[in-house]
Amino acid sequence: MKLQLTLALICVLLPKVRTYAVCYLCTTDASGTCKEMQTACSDQCGSQTILMRVDGVQVVSSAKACAVASQCANGSLNLGDVKMTVHTQCCTTDRCNSQIPAALPFGSPNGKTCYTCVNDDCRGTVSCEGDQDRCVSTTVTAGNTQVTGKGCVSRSLCTADSSSMKAAGVTGSVSCCEGDLCNTAEGVKLSLLIMVAPLISSTLFH
């Protein structure tokens, strides 16, 4: 009897361990709307908004989905003709990702300078903006197309998760460095998240 009572008390007093959260799942389409669903996630819920400007044309993409801690990054990227900001919010309770975060605005020049590429010529320079405190060199292969890019990036995006790009079949290399014009040499390091918007703007958290 005492053993049964002890077991009953343990069940009542100890917190229940959950290995999943119920999260909203939604990716906006071209019209800016989406059909919202719910799904069980093994780690966290996330919501994300990417603001992208390509050759002067501005696009906003948002998503709600499962996430892991390494995907919960905020920052910005400037490759010259391509600029983007990433605003991600992550949480761990059921349906906590009901709200889409506002797009982060583009920043003002901060005095740092990095090399940038125009077609195959990577001798140009670009002024870093806002929280961009690193230079970046990228070589990305998407299908049969190889894209080379250089510019400025926030430190947080250099260390973010790369699973979204690998799942989409995009592979390549990214190298981040500190110091003005430090991105002269190509390298293989860290995250591919910073190429999400320029290459596949519809893929978020996948």
Residue 9 lies in a domain: no
pLDDT tens digits for range 22-51: 999 887 666 667 778 898 988 889 998 989
- The yes-or-no verdict on residue 180 having pLDDT over 70 is yes
- Residue 26 exposure: Cα atoms within 13 Å on the Cβ side: 20
Secondary structure of residue 3 in the 3-state scheme: helix
Structure tokens, 133:
């405190």
- According to the model, what pLDDT value does residue 205 have? 53
What is the CB neighbour count within 10 angstroms for residue 111? 7
Total structural domains within the chain: 1
User: 90 lies in which domain range?
Assistant: 21-200
Residue 158 lies in a domain: yes
Q: What angle do CA 111, 113, 119 make, to 5 degrees?
A: 145
Question: pTM to 2 decimals?
Answer: 0.72
**Helix H or strand E encompassing 163:** helix 163-167
Residue 176 lies in a domain: yes
- According to the model, what pLDDT value does residue 125 have? 92
Residue 110 lies in a domain: yes
Residue 74 lies in a domain: yes
